[in-house]
Amino acid sequence: MSIKWQDKDPDDQVDYSIDWTNILETHTISSVAWKIYDATSGWITFNQGDIVNGLQHVTNTNTDTVATLYLGLGTNFQEYNIICRMTTSISTVFEQEARIRVVEKN
Amino acid sequence: MATFDTADALYGTGQYGVASYGITSPSQVVGGVEGTGQVQTVAVNGFEIDLSERLVGVSATAEIGNVLGKGPAATKVLTGVEGTGSAGSVRANPGTILVGVSATGSVNTVFENPDEGLISVSATGSIGSLTFSNTHRVTSVGMTGSIGAGTYTGITLVIPVLAYSKVRTFILTPSQARRVA
């Protein structure tokens, strides 16, 4: 089941996060990777600096429990599907899909 | 009285008993006296001059070791001082106005006191570290040098590292996440 982040303005460059605390229990985040869905290529890796269908991966960070993706640009009225792939400190791997819609604010 | 000079001579002529023979007592005029002598070296306290004598001129050559000027220090004005050398430190006293100083050399430290007005300062050097606070305003700085390190405050990063907005954070529940490995 996917989650939905707040809408994004094309001019905004903001952070979107997933809090994995309830999944990790006593463990911590070891690494995080991001994917984005492209209608032509399917799920592709979404690395820093990439622009896919107009949406820009600015950078990403994580704490022991929270994974954060900084997004920029985006096409107005388009919805993007993104996956956060998280590896724990005990090498278990979890994925969570998120949707974000780009809407220009008035 | 008979007078003879060098052109006169006595010969063996004359009358017996009247003229003397071989002996005469003439009075002669001496045209001049010439002699050579030596005067002892003139020295102070070594040569005495009588008061009745008149000295038309005195010429001497001597050597002076040191000349010391002496007078009221407060009335003297030094219009200019010029020198070349190195100064260990320069410190201006309060209330003193330095119109101009020209020197060639090396200066270790320059102190500035709050009561003094420095018309202009020009320097070239290096700065070890620079701390900039947003509570001060720097209107202009002109310098040439190298800056070792800088510390800046009051500047907000566009992307804070290891920080995120809780408003745009989705908190997962154990049933939502999908374990893939």
Note the ipTM here: 0.88
Confidence of residue A91 (pLDDT cuts 50, 70, 90): very high
Residue B104, φ and ψ in degrees, nearest 5 = -125, 125
B positions 127-166 inside 8 Å of A (CB)? 158-159, 161-162, 164-166
**Domain range summary for chain A, segments of one domain joined by +:** 3-102
Q: Calculate mean pLDDT across residues A44-57.
A: 96
Contacts of B158 in chain A (CB under 8 A): 13
| Closest approach of B158 to chain A, Cα-based (Å) | 9
Pairwise CB contact (< 8 Å): B181 & A19: no
Q: For A1, which residue in chain B has the nearest alpha carbon?
A: B176
Q: Is the pLDDT of residue A26 over 60?
A: yes
Confidence of residue B64 (pLDDT cuts 50, 70, 90): very low
How high is the pLDDT of residue A44? Answer: 96
Q: Calculate mean pLDDT across residues A87-103.
A: 96
Mean pLDDT of chain A: 95
Confirm or reject contact between B178 and chain A (CB < 8 A). Answer: yes
Helix, strand, or coil (residue B74): helix
Helix, strand, or coil (residue A39): coil
Contacts of A19 in chain B (CB under 8 A): 169-172
Out of A6, A20, A59, closest to residue B172 by CB: A20
The H-or-E segment that residue A24 falls in is: helix A21-24
pLDDT digits (tens, 9 = 90+) for B96-142: 555 554 545 444 555 555 455 545 555 555 545 555 555 655 466 55
How high is the pLDDT of residue A3? Answer: 93
| Closest approach of B154 to chain A, Cα-based (Å) | 21
Q: Does domain A3-102 have CATH number 3.40.50.170?
A: no
- Give the whole-number percent of chain A exceeding pLDDT 70: 100
Burial letters A42-65, b for 16+ CB under 10 A, else e: eeeebeeeeebeebbbbbbbbbeb
Confirm or reject contact between B52 and chain A (CB < 8 A). Answer: no
pLDDT digits (tens, 9 = 90+) for B10-54: 565 556 666 555 555 556 566 776 767 665 665 556 555 555 555
| Closest approach of A98 to chain B, Cα-based (Å) | 9
